[in-house]
Amino acid sequence: MSLMTDELKKKNADASTVTIRTRKFLTNRLLQRKQMVVDVIHPGLANVSKDELRAKIAKMYKAEKEVVSVFGFKTHFGGGKTTGFALIYDNLEALKKFEPRYRLVRYGLAEPPKGGRKQRKEKKNREKKFRGVKKTKKVRKE
């Protein structure tokens, strides 16, 4: 039994070390952001939360956590390494302007859409019956 506990202790010691490396760093002036590929090495851990990654990347690049966006993470076969993408915006206004709405909702910066899926589909089908200026007038009247 002592051998088993030693192995577990060793695994837990490895689990506490999470290494974040960035590559393909690019400064995108048009979209007011820095963008990069992020490699997360996490031996012994299932994965690292996106919230934790945002905080660590913000600390690495001396930015606020609110202006960091992380997405597209894939865990490599066998575990221990995950690769994804990170964006660091120059300010919060740029993030709100250029980030997709679903990510803003995810970060708590926007409200999720109201109404159900069925309502959206019905509205879409009503709009399909009209073209151009008529479309905006007819849909708003209903």
Q: Would the pTM of this model clear 0.85, i.e. be above it? A: no
Q: Where are the domains of the chain?
A: 2-111, 115-142
The pLDDT profile of the chain, 142 residues, written as one tens digit per residue, is: 444 455 544 555 544 689 999 999 999 999 999 999 999 999 988 899 999 999 999 999 999 999 999 999 999 999 899 999 999 999 999 999 999 999 999 999 999 888 899 998 998 999 888 877 766 665 555 5
**Domain 2-111's class?**
alpha beta
Mutual orientation of helices 117-128 and 132-141 as an angle, nearest 10°? 130
Residues whose CB is less than 8 angstroms from the CB of residue 94 and which lie 6 or more positions away in sequence, other chains included: 31, 32, 33, 67
